């Protein structure tokens, strides 16, 4: 009888306990009180989800924040919202479509002409599980947007970051990188394609690149970090009904976008993190990367192949 009563009450108890459990499970909180007056920041994909919350927090700290969005209208709306809540009116929207190298180059060109400095670059934008499709340049969408797009963007902005050192680059990757593999013979998914795996591969590429870039940037004053934000309630599941169901089923374990932004903020702001450049963080702590992600041979080869695909020199 008591058991039955308990069982009947369980959903109710769970419902009441949800905020507490959620808090317990999302332990990573960025506690830095670093302020950013005079600092310049770019957040890609800042019109929604984790990127929006990251941008809001950085604006709160007084930085000039560029929201780099493919949909300028959505971006403007969010900029107004952030300006209203933070009182910081230096929140600017610029067009950036990471699925089009022309757009990336135009964005960088205007930014470089407009701004003397860049202190923090947050490569946050991402797509997950979209049906097979290609970017304007013929790259498979996941590898094209999540990896190659940010690769080119980082390349174009790197001198400015160096000139503004100490500066930081944060790459939003994912736990999903553990399932990723770099199939050099099928980088564009033309021989076989799985939407779920394509996402994992591109997120592995993020981790590999962070490490390779960190090796190349030693001594430059620019440091780089990759991040797993947690499992976060956002629009990322928009292409997959299955994922939306999973997110609902495991709702207790899902972070809010504001909680999801914490590790990106931690890596962008925490003092004394420089010696860990190239590392991967989750819940505001160092975390394990997959064996593939630690393989320097794969990292170098991917670097060279990416430069080749984008028509860049390999020694940057
Ligand atoms: N949510 C999670 O559980 C989770 C877990 C691990 C990693 N992550 C990573 O966290 C990052 C942020 O994701 P989120 O969860 O906040 O997802 P989201 O709500 O879907 O936000 C993704 C952002 O990326 C932008 N974007 C997509 N394609 C773009 C393109 N071609 N050019 C420019 N911007 C583009 C989107 O713009 P539009 O709104 O215009 O489409 C949106 O602003 C991603 O890199 C994702 O891989 C998320
Ligand atoms: C972030 O990831 C992109 C895509 O993999 C890569 O091109 C870029 O160099 C990385 N940047 C950092 C700082 O890791
Ligand atoms: C790295 O990957 C290459 C190619 O897949 C493999 O031959 C090599 O053994 C790997 N190295 C390590 C240290 O795992």
Task: Give, using CA atoms, the residue closest to atom 34 of ligand 1.
Answer: 45
pLDDT of residue 313: 95
- Give the Cα-Cα-Cα angle 181, 45, 71 (nearest 5 degrees): 125
- Which numbered atom of ligand 1 lies nearest the CA of 128? 47
**What are 167's strand-pairing partners?**
222
Given a contact cutoff of 8 angstroms between Cβ atoms, the answer to whether 82 and 88 are in contact is yes
Positive or negative torsion for Cα 80, 84, 90, 96: negative
Residue nearest (by alpha carbon) to ligand 2 atom 11: 210
What is the structure's pLDDT at 5? 72
pLDDT in tens, 30-72: 999 999 999 999 999 999 999 999 999 999 999 999 999 999 9
User: pLDDT tens for residues 203-245?
Assistant: 999 889 888 998 999 999 999 999 999 999 999 999 999 889 9
Per the DSSP assignment, residues forming a β-bridge with 43 are 67, 122
Low-confidence residues in the chain, pLDDT < 70: 1-3, 6, 10-27
Helices (H), the chain: 2-25, 49-60, 72-86, 101-114, 141-142, 150-163, 195-217, 241-249, 257-260, 262-269, 296-310
Q: Which CATH number is associated with domain 32-310?
A: 3.40.50.720
Half-sphere exposure of 234 (CA within 13 A, CB side): 25
For residues 95 and 5, give the distance between their C-alpha atoms in angstroms, rounded to a whole number: 57
Q: Is 42 left (phi over 0), alpha (psi -120 to 50) or beta?
A: beta
pLDDT of residue 211: 84
**Residues with Cβ < 8 Å from 190, sequence gap 6 or more?**
140
Q: Is residue 15 annotated as part of the catalytic site, yes or no?
A: no
pLDDT for the residue 266? 97
Q: What is the pLDDT of residue 6?
A: 66
Q: What pLDDT was estimated at residue 306? A: 96
What are the domain boundaries of the chain? Answer: 32-310
Catalytic residue, from 66, 193, 199, 280: name it: 199
pLDDT given at position 19: 65
Provide the residue count of the chain: 316
Nearest ligand 2 atom to the CA of 123 is: 1
pLDDT confidence of residue 209? 87
């Amino acid at each position: 009888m008591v058991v039955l009563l308990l069982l009947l009450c369980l959903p109710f108890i769970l419902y009441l306990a949800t905020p507490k459990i959620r808090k317990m499970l999302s332990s990573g909180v960025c506690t830095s009180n670093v302020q950013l007056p005079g600092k310049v920041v770019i957040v890609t994909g800042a019109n929604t989800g984790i990127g929006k919350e990251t941008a809001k927090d950085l604006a709160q700290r007084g930085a000039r924040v560029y929201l780099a969005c493919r949909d300028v209208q959505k971006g403007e709306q969010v900029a107004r919202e952030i300006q209203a809540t933070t009182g910081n009116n230096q929140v600017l929207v610029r067009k950036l479509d990471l699925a089009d190298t022309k757009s990336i180059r135009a964005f960088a060109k205007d930014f470089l002409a407009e701004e003397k400095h860049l202190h923090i670059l947050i490569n946050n934008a991402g797509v997950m599980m979209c049906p097979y499709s290609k970017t304007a340049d013929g790259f498979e969408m996941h590898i094209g947007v999540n990896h190659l797009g940010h690769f080119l963007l980082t390349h174009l902005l790197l001198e400015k970051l160096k000139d503004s050192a100490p500066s930081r680059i944060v790459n939003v990757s994912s736990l999903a990188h553990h399932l990723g593999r770099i199939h050099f013979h099928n980088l564009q998914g033309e021989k076989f394609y799985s939407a779920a795996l394509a996402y994992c591969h591109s997120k592995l590429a993020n981790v590999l690149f962070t490490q390779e870039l960190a090796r190349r940037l030693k001594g430059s004053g620019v440091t780089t970090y990759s991040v797993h934000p947690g499992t976060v309630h956002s629009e990322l599941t928009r292409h997959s009904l299955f994922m939306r169901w999973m997110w609902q089923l495991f709702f207790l374990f899902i972070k809010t976008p504001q909680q999801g932004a914490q590790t990106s903020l931690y890596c962008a702001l925490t003092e004394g993190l420089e010696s860990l450049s190239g590392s991967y963080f989750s819940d505001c702590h160092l975390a394990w990367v997959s064996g593939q992600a630690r393989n320097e041979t794969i990292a170098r080869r991917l670097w060279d192949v990416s430069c080749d695909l984008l028509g860049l020199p390999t020694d940057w």
